[in-house]
Each structure stands twice: as C-alpha cells, then as structure tokens.
Amino acid sequence: MEQIVETSFFNRDLSWLKFNERILMEAERNTVPLLERIKFLSIFSSNLDEFYRVRMPVLLALEKLSNKDDNDIRMDDNLLNTANQLISEQQQRYGKVLQSDLIPLLKENKINLIYGKPFPPEIQKNITRYFLSQVMAFLQPVYINANSNFFPSNNELYFLITLKKKEDAEVVILNIPSNQLARFYKVETADETFIVFLDDIVRFHLDRVFPESEVTGCYSFKITRDAEIDLKDEYSGSLSEQLEKQLLKRDAGLATRFLHQPGIPDNVFELLKKLFNLKKANRIEGGQYHNLKDFMGFPVNSPKLSNQNWPKLCNTDLIDGSLTEAIYKKDIIVHTPYQSYDSVLRFFNEAAIDAEVKEIYVTLYRVASDSKIVNALISAAKNGKKVTVLVELKARFDEANNIKWAKKMKEAGIDIIYSVTALKVHAKVALVKRQTGNRMRYSGLFATGNFNESTAAFYTDHILMTANKEMLREVELLFIFLAKRVKPTSLNLIKFNHLLVAQFNLQEVFLHLIEREIEHAKQGKPSGITIKMNNLEEKVLINKLYEASSAGVKIEMIVRSICRLIPGVPGMSENIKVTRIVDRYLEHGRVFIFHNLGKNDVYLGSADWMNRNIYRRIEVCFPIYNEQIKQEMIAIIEIQKQDNVQAVCIDENMNNIPVKKSEPLIESQHDIYELLKNK
C-alpha cells in the first residue's frame, strides 16, 4: 500500500471536541428525560474543564512552534482558532438549551430554577437564614492591590468585587464556597420548588459582607490552569512524596482560561492579569455562572423526570457455595453496570478470609473514595496473607486519593508497588494463589475497567473471572517484572503467549491479527474486524486498518471519544464504518473481534489505541477462550453495531451524523440489558 500522508488523520483535539458535542446533543434531545438532560449539561461542562486543564496548554505551546508544516501536530495554521470557534459555538448551544428549553420545562413541572433573576419575595427570609447560619462562615474576602500575593485556586469560583468606601476605591476577591457547601439550595413552598445558586445567595448578601462600603461592581470568574504534573524519570526519592509536592503546585500552573462575567473594568483586569499570571490565558466572557458541572448535584429527585431504573442483574447460580470453586469449574464474566458488581467484591472478600489463600496481587488505577476492595485487601494482609498491590499514583485527578489509600495499605502490611515515573500501569488484573494440600491453584480477574465499585455503577465494562493457569501465570510474571520498577528493554522481555501486554507484545499481536484478515481477504476468503474502544489515535495501527480496508476487509468500529481515523474515504477507508454511542451509561469496554475464517478470535482489555496506551503504559488485553462467553460478547457487540437510536456515524468531516432510524428501533444499552436479563 502507498504510504499514508499525515493529512489522513483527524486532529486529535478537534475530534475530542466533536465527542463533547455529542454529549451536548443528548442535552438537546427532547426524548431524553428532563433531569437526564441536565446531567448531560453537567458532563459537557466537566469535559470542557478538563480540556482546558489538559489539552489547551498543549495547543498554546504548539501555537508557538516555528515549524508550521508539521501536520502531525497541526491540522492547519489556525488549529487554536478552530478549537476556540468550536468551543464558542458549543457554548452558545449550551446556553440556548439551558435557558430556552430546560429552565421553562422545569417551570412547567413546578421546579423554579432561579437563573440570572432576583429572588422571589416569598423565599428571601429562608435564604437569608441559610446565609447567616451556614454560608457566611466560609467567606474569605481578600483585598487586592499591586503588592498582593493571593493566588486563586485552580478552577474554583470567585467574585471580583469593586467597592467604594468614602472616597477610596477598593478591589476584593471573594470566594464562592462551593467546595464546602452544595452549589444549589432548595426551598420548598406549597406550590413549587425553588432552586437557587450558592453564587446568588452570596451576591444577594454582599451588603452584610461589606457593611461599611458601597458595592459598585460584582463579577463572577474562575481561572483554569494546566493540570499536568512534571515528574522526573530518574527521581530516586519517594514517588508519593514527589507527587504530593507536585499536587500543591497544580494551582500555580500555566493559566489557559480566564472565564468571567462581562463588565470587568479594564484597569482592574490589567491588575489581575499581572497578579495572577494571565498573560497567555484565553480571556473568555461567559455568563454569570461557571462550573456548571455542578448540575450533577441538581437537588431534585423525580422518577417521572429521570430514566427508568434498571435493577441490577444478579447471577443466582453464584449465591450458594464458594465463588472460587465456581471459577475453578468454568470462566465467568460480569457485564457492569447491567449486572451487579457484588460478585467482584465477593471475589476479594472471599480471598481475604479464605485460610487457604496465601497470596493476592492486584493493580489499582482509580480507587473508589471509600473502597470496599481496598478494605478487603487490608483485611487479607491482617489475616496473614501476602498482598501485593500496584497503585498507579499518576492517575490524573485521582493522585491524592490514590496516595491516601497507598499509605493506608502500606500501614496494614501490604506490599505497595509504584510504577516507574515515565510509565503508567493502566492494566486491570488481579491474581489469587490458593494452596490446597501440596497443590497451588490460581484464580483471577481480567477487566476492561478499574476495580472501582463507584464507577462500576455507570461505566459499561466487562470483568472475566478465570482459573486459566497459563493466563494467570503470565499475570504473575508481569507482577514480578513490575516489582523491579524498570522500563521494559530487549534484555528483560517476558514471552507472553496468551496475554497482550503493552511494552511487550500488544501492538505486534494486533498488527498480526489485522494482517491475517488482510491475507484472507486477498485470498477471497471471508474476513472482518470489529473493534470497540474509547479512543483511537495511534497511527501505526490506524495505517494498518487503512491497509486492511484497501484489501477489502470490512471493518466496523465503535469509538466513543477521540477518533483520528477518517472513515469512508475512497481508496483508503471506504470499508471502514465508525459509530459513536452515548447513552445513560458511559461506554467504556474495549473489545476486539477478528473473524479468523469464522472462528472469531475475541479479546477484551484495558488498552485504547492511543499513543499513551501503546507507548507509555502497561496495558493488558486478554483472550476469551470460553465459547459461551465468546458468543455472549459477540451478541452484545452485534446489538451495539445495530443501534439506530443512540448511535451516530462519524463522517469524513468529523461530524456526528445520526444513524438513519428504521424498524425495529434498537437502543443498544436497553437491548443489552434485556439480553442479559433473559439469559
């Protein structure tokens, strides 16, 4: 095949913004229940905040590059402008759907969201009582001048207030204490429910905060800064101590956005620009409310305005007897959140108290804030078992929580492994070694998502429970390697025959599996590839898919977020179809199906095809050998491929094109639930 030119890839960041547009589309759809539409607004806002914290610093840096012809970095000479234009258009749509659609619909349902208007007289006394008894204690006004050393916290909410006291003008920064108090306050009356912003409660009582001054201006703002943490690859000290120091610096990172309510006087802005190092930040005039990700905590619970609850499915065959013994008999798979996560918790709980269990190994990437799994591991260690846990301290935005749990586990006697600083461990694997007489038996878990009971409630993932000795022995070898805290080299590679492990054989095996389908197509034999993942970026693998498409291999892809592959281009990708599914649950599982002349080789795993997953992480993908589970996985993916309600196609211009609806209507998450319920 001819060499693929660099322009044969969508831009990574614009693709991500198009994914966030797909989230916004759910908020705009009138067939989605009202409170769910508000949640999608929250998700959109949260995603955009992360974009400014993580990706915008990269775009700002690339804008300064002198090499204007590097298309791998820049889609065109106006990438930053294009991204800002997309964001601006999406935020206008956001404001329209909130103010023109959702707030009136709330009002129709006797829920009055006070948005940019005065408090009705009938709730003012209630709000003042709340302010005086609760809110006032958390207010911390800071008077600003050219010599001030105050620095606003990253992404938190503030008021910029201008005061006049006698003849003197003053500038004050006042915090909006949304980290200490709920963002919304609810007042019930006989006729309706009023929801008010904490911001407005503070604004309404500024005369009580500054009784000696005249408030001449009040403008909400927040500053978003670079969230990346700079770790030295060869750092010899404690990784957790280094991370804790770096976390303290996150609030002082490069400012990427100064988002503010219109009207700030120019001379006051120049003062802030100097004091808060805003020279390189995008100055964006927005509304008076920021951090609308807080809509996730909207204080209304109404079944008629929410999604119908789907009760978690339980495998009743596993209730009696030992789960471990059931795993010894045959492989078991759990599909969250459709199926209960209890069996995963039970796996760790049984291991913690089983007298025959001698050793437990597990990788933890994002730990639940009150993790039952970690508590089980602590119990296991206190029960005399050897417990080894790889804790990935560098999981972005979860660093502090992971550090906290790592310390607790270490105090309990658990052996803690930290990954080498330049290499994240993103694999989701667990191993239990159980000795019966002279015989050592293995059982374990392989998952597409984190061992986290909180996210398991709304992430679609797959957890395989198996006693396959060969696969689990390879997990044991991987833990032995990780404990050495070295980067993989040609001198210490492990031979993996079953697992696909990034840094060892993962990319090589996937290329081989695609090549095999290419050879079958060239020979006129049946061929096909189906892949589901969160993100698709890595160009070597994308090029191989282009090659397969040109050879006649039909390729169907379900890619939730970033997709750099351009589908449907004649002579390059005309045999590739890419869809994106957004629904009540976050699609998170990674699934790889290769036709193999009808044998259907199926792999699940933790690895997206991103540069970071392929080149800078330890990932594990695993084969499905149990025929019944294999067919179940294929059936689930087939339902998703046929979705004509929640799916959109990504076209050659990166647009989200709704799939043409036809009978029967297939809403994949609902239909997968029904499939598993009837199993």
C-alpha 258/C-alpha 221 separation (Å) is 7
State the pLDDT at residue 590. Answer: 98
State the pLDDT at residue 291. Answer: 95
State the pLDDT at residue 395. Answer: 65
**Following DSSP, what letter does each residue of 476-532 receive, concatenated?**
HHHHHHHHT-----TTS----SS-EETTTTHHHHHHHHHHHHHHHHHTT----EEEE
State the pLDDT at residue 239. Answer: 53
| Six token digits for residue 642 | 């046929």
Closest CA to 256 of 394, 76, 80, 46: 80
State the pLDDT at residue 233. Answer: 43
Spell out the domains of the chain, with CATH numbers in brackets.
1-115 (1.20.58.310), 120-231+253-288 (3.30.1840.10), 316-483 (3.30.870.10), 500-677 (3.30.870.10)
Residue type, 417: I
| Six token digits for residue 603 | 């792999």
State the pLDDT at residue 277. Answer: 87
- Would residue 670 show up in a list of annotated catalytic residues for this protein? no
Contacts made by residues 344-349, CB under 8 angstroms, sequence distance 24+: 344/373, 344/445, 344/451, 344/453, 344/456, 344/463, 345/372, 345/373, 345/376, 345/453, 346/318, 347/323, 347/430, 347/432, 347/443, 347/445, 347/465, 348/372, 348/373, 348/376, 348/377, 348/380, 348/430, 349/376
Residue with tokens 């089983």, as numbered in its chain: 354
State the pLDDT at residue 167. Answer: 77
Burial 210-225 (b: 16+ CB within 10 A, else e): beebebebbbbbbbbb
State the pLDDT at residue 595. Answer: 98
* Residue 409 CA: distances (Å) to CA of 387, 416, 634: 9, 8, 39
C-alpha 529/C-alpha 544 separation (Å) is 12
State the pLDDT at residue 235. Answer: 40
State the pLDDT at residue 472. Answer: 98
State the pLDDT at residue 422. Answer: 78
Contacts made by residues 40-43, CB under 8 angstroms, sequence distance 24+: 41/94, 41/97, 41/98, 41/102, 41/292, 41/295, 42/292, 42/293, 42/294, 42/295, 42/296, 42/298, 43/293, 43/296
Per DSSP, what are the bridge partners of residue 361?
A: 388, 431
> Residues 290, 426, 462, 588: which is the catalytic one?
426
* Residue 64 CA: distances (Å) to CA of 60, 75, 257, 276, 506: 7, 15, 17, 22, 35
State the pLDDT at residue 78. Answer: 81
Residue-wise pLDDT for 240-264, tens only, equals 565 455 545 545 567 889 999 999 9
Q: How many other β-carbons are positioned within 10 Å of the β-carbon of residue 577?
A: 16
State the pLDDT at residue 74. Answer: 39
* Residue 668 CA: distances (Å) to CA of 555, 577, 636, 639, 672: 19, 17, 8, 6, 6
3-state secondary structure of 8: helix
Please list the rounded mean pLDDT of every run of 10 residues in the chain (679 residues).
61 96 98 98 96 84 56 58 94 96 98 97 97 97 88 92 88 96 96 97 97 95 77 48 52 80 93 89 90 97 95 81 94 97 96 98 93 97 97 78 91 92 91 95 98 96 98 97 86 87 96 98 98 98 98 98 97 97 98 98 98 95 98 98 97 94 94 95
> What are the two backbone dihedrals, phi and then psi, of residue 98, each rounded to the nearest 5 degrees?
-70, -50
